[in-house]
Amino acid sequence: MTGVPETMTAIAISAPGGPEVLVPTTVPVPQPGKDEVLIRVAAAGVNRPDSMQRQGKYPPPPGESDIPGLEIAGTIVAAGEGVEEIVVGRTVCALIGSGGYAEYAVAPVGQCLPVPAGYDIAEAAALPETLFTVWSNLFERAYLVAGDTALIHGGTSGIGTMAISLCRLFGVTSIVTCGSDEKCDAARAWGATHAINYKAADFVEEVARITQGKGCDAVLDMVGGDYVPRNLKCLAEDGRHVSIATQGGAKATLFIPEIMTKRLTVTGSTLRPRPRGFKALVAYEIEKVVWPFVETGALRPAMDRRFPLAEAAAAHARLEAGDHFGKIILIP
């Protein structure tokens, strides 16, 4: 821990509530444990789970920090037991269980990915959470392959824009839903094959029109509620529905004969509570299959705004206003 201070600035949640409960505070610098590294944070991503944690709806897994923040980028400054000292000094981005809204954060070494030379460090911090989520759900659970068509809700969100990018790189036709014509234009400009303004048209009818009645091969859904039965109507035979959030409701009524006759797969997952071993396997696969696109600059996240760490409350307010396009980043 040579050269590392004893204390640091971090963002605390003073009480469950609105963005104003995020306040800068001084806390001890964390110590890396077995198979962990300590990273001096250059940038941290802001994600919807952080907002839910702030509201008291999504507590960190046991043993994780109370400080929010699930993805970071920066320099490794110390290595814990079982980690080779050679990694110290490397620039990485990492998926973590919590603790990213701080000047220093601990990360499992298996969940770190190398930041290519010349790659914007803030953009690197915007990759892990959405990339791990989209890859593990659309390309692993939903088995997307070149030539498939995917329906993606929240087309201008961090998840949505990452899904658009991966679909483009891997030959998948993407249909996204957005809340305005302006957002639809932005999604298409980012690379979406089709964009539907769900406030002006029925996305079920639009998917049928776009696919000439066939339907899509997969749906990535973060809405839940009454969207789920509508999503199933959008699926082609042998289609796959993947739920990753329930922003519109945690319960849905499904018509089981439709699932049977079309041979649909209805599945879903959460990433944060998964074991470190699983996340390390996802990181390994991403490094082998996806990271070459990062190294060439072909995969970059859509970037919205960057806020100083002390302005985390303003960053959360922007996230929840819904006007952002892509990722919001905090800079310590």
pLDDT tens figures, 161-194: 999 999 999 999 999 999 999 999 999 999 999 9
pTM of the model: 0.95
pLDDT at residue number 1: 76
Q: What is the DSSP string of 17-33?
A: SSGGGEEEEEEEPP---
Confidence of residue 290 (pLDDT cuts 50, 70, 90): very high
Domain borders along the chain are 7-127+272-331, 130-268
Question: φ, ψ for residue 269 (rounded to 5)?
Answer: -165, 160
CA-to-CA distance for 247 and 221, rounded, in angstroms? 10
In terms of DSSP bridges, do strands 91-95 and 71-79 run parallel, antiparallel, or are they unpaired? antiparallel
% residues pLDDT > 90 (the chain): 99
Structure token digits, residue 211? 């696919």
State the average pLDDT for the chain. Answer: 97
CA-closest candidate to residue 22, choices 69, 59, 76: 69
**Do 164 and 187 touch, CB atoms closer than 8 A?**
yes
pLDDT number for residue 218: 98
- Residues 66/60, Cβ–Cβ less than 8 Å: yes
Q: Interhelix angle for 203-210 vs 227-234, to 10°?
A: 10
Q: Which CATH architecture has domain 130-268?
A: 3-Layer(aba) Sandwich (3.40)
- Yes or no: say if 221 and 152 are a contact pair by the CB < 8 Å rule: no
In CATH, what number does 7-127+272-331 get? 3.90.180.10
> Does pLDDT of 2 surpass 90?
no
Percent of the chain with pLDDT over 70: 100
CB 30 within 8 A of CB 104: yes
pLDDT in tens, 230-289: 999 999 999 999 999 999 999 999 999 999 999 999 999 999 999 999 999 999 999 999
Q: d(Cα 159, Cα 318) in Å, to the nearest integer?
A: 16
Q: In 30-157, which ranges are continuous DSSP H helix? A: 48-54, 121-125, 128-134
What distance in Å separates the CA atoms of residue 101 and residue 67, rounded to the nearest whole number? 6
End-to-end CA distance of the chain: 20
Q: Where are the beta strands (DSSP E) in the chain?
A: 7-13, 22-28, 36-46, 71-79, 91-95, 104-108, 112-114, 149-152, 173-178, 194-197, 216-221, 235-243, 265-268, 303-308, 327-331
